[in-house]
Amino acid sequence: MKLKISRRGFLASSTALAVSGLPGIAFAQDLPPLEDRLPENPLVVTPHERPGQQGGTWEMALVGGGSLSMLYRYQAYDPLLRWNADWSAFEPNVAESFEVSEDSTTYTFTLRRGHKWSDGEPYTTEDIRFWYEDIFLDPDAGLTDEAHWYADGEVAKLEIVDDVTFRVVFPAPNGFFATKMAESNIDQLVRAPAHYLKQFHIKYNENANDLAAERGFDSWIALFQREHGLTEDNVHFQNSNRPTLNAWVFTSAPGEDTTRAVAVRNPYYFKVDNEGTQLPYFDGINYQMVSDPEVLLLKVLQGEIDVENVYANTPTNKPVLFDGQESGDYRFYTLRETAANVMVFQLNLNHPDPEKNALFNNRDFREAMSIAVDRQALIDAVFVGQGAPAQPSIRPGDPLYNERLATQHTEYDPARANEILDGIVPERDDDGFRLMSDGDRLTIIFEIDQVRTTFLDMFELALPMFREVGIDVQIRTMDRSLWEERVRNGREFDASAHQFGSNGGIGAMLDPRYFVPFNSNSIYAPGWALYFSAPDNEAAIEPPEEIKAQQQLYRDLIATGDPERQNEIMAQILENAADQFLVFGVSLPPDGYGVVKNNVVNMPDEMPNSFSWPTPMPIGTEQLFKE
């Protein structure tokens, strides 16, 4: 039976759209009737609690210049296939349906007929073809880190069947292709509006270089990459002109205004609730741009933020937030932690300095640093005693749990650490610090994203522990955007610390960052990771044989669609990871929390916490509304 489309709300007929609650912002245009803006078969969403009404503003915040990837958590997670609300499976989203061949070599996708971009232009397989031929395979437009489009080192073929149907055909089995597309920021097939981007591509506009020069770019390539957002995820969000398929579209993008960013309802969004009302419910999102987590915490306490689950929700802040519930008019919800560790110490195993590179690649050296840390002291002080010493690993009770991986080298034993280090770097200066071969002090600088306040708290305790065994460990804090440039996308650093990864199930298979260097999240080995994902990249570094074998195991894992075989291969990867001991951590994370204003409806009381499952968006942020 065909769903009856509701005419409730000001978007039900041709009108001008003005966003309430956002002073000075108007997104006005004449719109066709609602039934002409929706696909023939819109995606029907059954709200978590109850259907709502259109209207209101979602008040949010972004911290620092480098936190724009958080937008995948709030408004920009609408891939072809999407995780379900409890992270147990993926399901059609932008795609109306899909099929996988028995041998996992052929994937057939059907789009929604009549689906439109936010400017009203059709979304069809022409957008798919354009991305594949003119971005993905174009060496000038250029993309890296699209490893899920390869099998046995060869790229998949794209076959266009008709306006809404296409096939992706691999030369060998690729059992994880559909699964990977459900990850938070992987699916490029929904991010390349051909009708908009062709004007910047030399293949379609012979004057593209002149257009680039007019806008201050050296060539069409630079302008094209800026308009599409190819250079990095942050740039992807800094363009309010590019059409989108997401529920909200920027009218004032991050970076265009230093104090806030504004997104408004996409009048062509492809989802409706079970009563036929077009989603999203919120008219718009107002992102306040704040300098640091302390400012964000104050805004949460004052009731200015509707949802917060990333920067202010630290263990040490919980008592303060608990006491402020009544005055701030908010409540808590539980975040089931899925990260592999609360913090992972990562030495740069591809360090450009030969002596530090050799030192960091010495497993005994990493073991000594690991047992120099009193993990229980960090857990007691920073996490109020919640947790237990553990390396980056799989949680107990999961079928993939590996006890050796989880528990080795977690004991606090500075005497043993000193003994190991005396055999590797025995010379010391008058202050007791160990010396390099040139007589300089062995100094290791951990470069840290300053918004990770729990990291800073842990390092405050850990620094004296490292110095006790003669290693001059220091930290250098920086804005997230600089950290992204220097660490995630660089190589000229000693060490860093981060978290995430996954501690079980399909999440660990999708994001085994600490067990095998496979993408830019494996920041301890940037060159080895490129060898896996983009071996022709000039920055790629051929790893030693045991790492190459580990990477091949991961290729075998993502090639098979057989769950039993996947578990067997992943178990071997974890066993090898225990042998290699590439990084070391503090504790498996206890469950966390988020805060939500009391008048926000349809926010579940519990959900996973992950970037791969970009918390909270898979619960359906398009269905949130205020009473």
Which CATH number is 86's domain given?
Answer: 3.90.76.10
Identify the weakest region by mean pLDDT among 15-24, 64-73, 358-367, 411-420: 15-24
Q: Are residues 557 and 502 in the same domain?
A: yes
Q: Are residues 175 and 139 in the same domain?
A: yes
pLDDT bin (cut points 50, 70, 90) of residue 9 is: very low
Tally of structural domains, the chain: 3
- Tokens 């440039």 identify what position? 485
- Tokens 């110095």 identify what position? 467
Instruction: Please give the average per-residue pLDDT across 432-444, as a whole number.
Output: 97
- Whether 109 has a pLDDT exceeding 60, the answer reads yes
pLDDT of 66: 59
428 falls within a domain: no
Take residue 362 and report the two structure tokens written for it.
Answer: 């010495």
Q: Are residues 58 and 83 in the same domain?
A: no
Instruction: Please give the average per-residue pLDDT across 486-502, as a whole number.
Output: 93
Take residue 345 and report the two structure tokens written for it.
Answer: 């110490």
DSSP string covering 563-621, please?
HHHHHHHHHHHHHHHHHH---EESBPPPPEEEEEETTEES--SEEEEBTTTBTTGGGTG
Q: Are residues 334 and 378 in the same domain?
A: no
Question: What domain range is 263 assigned to?
Answer: 1-66+254-339+589-627
Q: What is the mean pLDDT of the chain?
A: 92
Could you list the beta-strand ranges (E) of 106-240: 106-111, 150-151, 154-155, 157-160, 165-169
111 falls within a domain: yes
Of 166, 165, 164, 168, the C-alpha closest to 156 is 168
Instruction: Please give the average per-residue pLDDT across 89-115, as a whole number.
Output: 96
Q: What is the CATH number of the domain that holds 413?
A: 3.10.105.10
pLDDT of 147: 80
CB atoms within 10 A of CB 479: 18
Q: Are residues 349 and 335 in the same domain?
A: no
- Tokens 């840290």 identify what position? 448
pLDDT of 141: 81
Identify the weakest region by mean pLDDT among 65-74, 174-183, 423-432, 535-544: 65-74
429 falls within a domain: no
Dist. CA 156–CA 213, nearest whole Å: 35
Q: Are residues 333 and 353 in the same domain?
A: no
Please identify, among 216, 245, 274, the residue that sits at the C-terminal boundary of a domain: 245
Q: Are residues 39 and 153 in the same domain?
A: no
For β-strands 307-308 and 330-337, DSSP reports them as unpaired
Q: Are residues 84 and 166 in the same domain?
A: yes
Q: Are residues 305 and 350 in the same domain?
A: no
Q: What is the CATH number of the domain that holds 24?
A: 3.40.190.10
Please identify, among 245, 264, 289, the residue that sits at the C-terminal boundary of a domain: 245
Q: Are residues 272 and 310 in the same domain?
A: yes
Q: What is the CA radius of gyration of the chain?
A: 25
332 falls within a domain: yes
50 falls within a domain: yes
296 falls within a domain: yes
* Residue 492 burial by Cβ neighbours in a 10 Å radius (0-12, 13-18, 19+): exposed
108 falls within a domain: yes
Dist. CA 548–CA 248, nearest whole Å: 43
pLDDT bin (cut points 50, 70, 90) of residue 46 is: very high
471 falls within a domain: no
Of 524, 377, 521, the C-alpha closest to 459 is 377
Q: Are residues 105 and 241 in the same domain?
A: yes
Q: Are residues 304 and 352 in the same domain?
A: no
Please identify, among 227, 245, 263, the residue that sits at the C-terminal boundary of a domain: 245
State which amino acid sits at residue 411: E
- Whether 530 has a pLDDT exceeding 60, the answer reads yes
